[in-house]
Amino acid sequence: MKVLFRNIHLYLSLVSGLVIAVVCFTGAVLVFEKELEQAFNPERYFVTQPGTQRLSPEQMVAAVQAQVPKAKVASVKLYADPMRTAEVNLAGGPGGKEGGKEAAMRGGQGGEKPEGARKEQGAKSGKEGKGEKGGKGGGEGGRGPVYFVNPYTGAVVGPYVYRETFFYTMMALHRGMVGGPVGKMIVGVSTLMFLFIIVTGLVLWFPATGKVLKQRLTVKWDASWKRLNHDLHIVLGFYSALFLFVFAFTGLAWSFEWFNNGIFAVTNSDPKGPEAPKSEVVLTGGKLGFNQAYVVAQQQVPNALSYAIAMPKDSAEAVRVMTTTANAAYEGATDELYLDQYTGRPLGKLAFEDRNLGQRVRRTFKPVHTGAIYGMPSKIIALVVCVLGVTFPVTGVILWLNRLKKERKKQRKQVATAAA
């Protein structure tokens, strides 16, 4: 039986090894995307000196529109942290003139976009897991530009266009998008193969005796290079197997629609969730602005860490405010508040914990996949495991070549013995 598992493990690894190495490498780069973005571009995300009086949201919007006069503002994100800048998301492509707010709401977080912005867009589309594909005028990386505004002085930094960044390139490689639909399919199939590689690897690892168990739990660093390569593949492979399996399994959600559908089928949940309430259409009078929406949101959800206010795209939709509270399960576990776009009257709330089981499970896939689910400790684990994932195809091939060389040497010896 082990021969069968060894062959499955070997041939699947030879077929998918290069893709797996690339996916693991780019995944390692993306683990600390948010932190690296903020470290290399502090002027975008932080103010050097907080002031005593904050500008209103509409004053911040006006500061951006002074630089981009014809821009259509889709949303504004405001932070309770006095050191954070505000984020003004424009609709559509680089000009900020086309497309809907779905595209804008996806991109304005800089390093934070995977959790907050994409989930906001996913909630609007009504389908969990669809947010990664983008809305009209959006698509992967096609979201609108973002301008960062000092909430005390009105100084503007931008535009920030995710598609033009290094991390977008890494993300495109990670998901195979550089190869279009075929590339995404190759990554998805390779990920499926990786799951079988991990399972068969654990079967092959399982020791027959206690002495072998000790050998397979410890790397012998002072051994020959062949033994060291053996230990790096088998011992470290064992310790990282569970994490790699979880990362690969959750990664399937971005490759296959049937996988996303399966989440909701297994949990017996509706992908769309409850219908968002509508505004009561008023033909005369004004509409709710960012200032009034922010005031009402603070009254309804006091002490939130952030408020992302998205204006409606038609005359019936409600103003949506995505809030992150201090007791959120994880950074992207946002709540949603609906306001009448004409009167500002609260129409309802949708807390993260009130979403159905399928939606909650699907929304945890991103933080689990990136290692962000438990903050810095889980991110460090994700980084280390992804780096190890890059090495396993290499050490595995070396292990296979050494085995072939040993078998050939044994066969030559047997032939020589028979001839004698």
Q: What tens digit of pLDDT does each residue of 250-264 get?
A: 999 999 999 999 999
Residue 380 lies in a domain: yes
Residue 398 lies in a domain: yes
What pLDDT is attached to residue 277? 92
30 pLDDT higher than 90? yes
Torsion angle defined by CA atoms of residues 330, 333, 334 and 336, in that order, rounded to the nearest 10 degrees = -150
125 pLDDT higher than 80? no
115 pLDDT higher than 70? no
Own/partner contacts of 265-272, CB < 8 Å, gap of 24 or more, are 266/358, 267/356, 267/357, 267/358, 267/361, 268/357, 268/358, 269/356, 269/357, 269/358, 269/359, 270/356, 270/358, 271/126, 271/127, 271/128, 271/129, 271/358, 271/359, 272/126, 272/127
- What value does the mean pLDDT take over residues 373-398? 95
What pLDDT is attached to residue 331? 81
Q: What is the CA radius of gyration of the chain?
A: 26
Most confident listed range (99-103, 325-329, 377-381): 377-381
Q: How many domains does the chain divide into?
A: 1
The string of pLDDT tens digits covering residues 168-196 is 999 999 999 888 999 999 999 999 999 99
- What value does the mean pLDDT take over residues 308-328? 92
- What value does the mean pLDDT take over residues 61-74? 91
What pLDDT is attached to residue 228? 94
- Which range is least confidently modeled, 162-171, 305-314, 406-415? 406-415
H/E stretch holding 88 reads strand 86-90
Question: In a 3-state reduction of DSSP, which class is residue 247?
Answer: helix
Query: What are the tokens at 336?
Result: 């949603």
* CA-based nearest residue to 60, from 120, 143, 147: 147
Residue 73 lies in a domain: no
Decide: 238 and 202 in contact? Cβ < 8 Å. yes
The string of pLDDT tens digits covering residues 198-212 is 999 999 998 877 788
What pLDDT is attached to residue 281? 84
- What value does the mean pLDDT take over residues 299-316? 93
Residue 144 lies in a domain: no
Decide: 382 and 371 in contact? Cβ < 8 Å. yes
Residue 401 lies in a domain: yes
Residue 382 lies in a domain: yes
Residue 209 lies in a domain: yes
What pLDDT is attached to residue 136? 36
User: What average pLDDT is seen over the chain?
Assistant: 86
> What is the value of pTM for the model shown?
0.82
Measured distance CA(418)–CA(420) in Å, rounded? 5
Decide: 27 and 174 in contact? Cβ < 8 Å. yes
HSE value, Cβ hemisphere, 13 Å, CA-based, for 187:
27
- What value does the mean pLDDT take over residues 226-249? 95
Residue 314 lies in a domain: no
What pLDDT is attached to residue 143? 62
What pLDDT is attached to residue 332? 83
Measured distance CA(109)–CA(111) in Å, rounded? 6
Residue 263 domain boundaries: 2-31+176-268+372-419
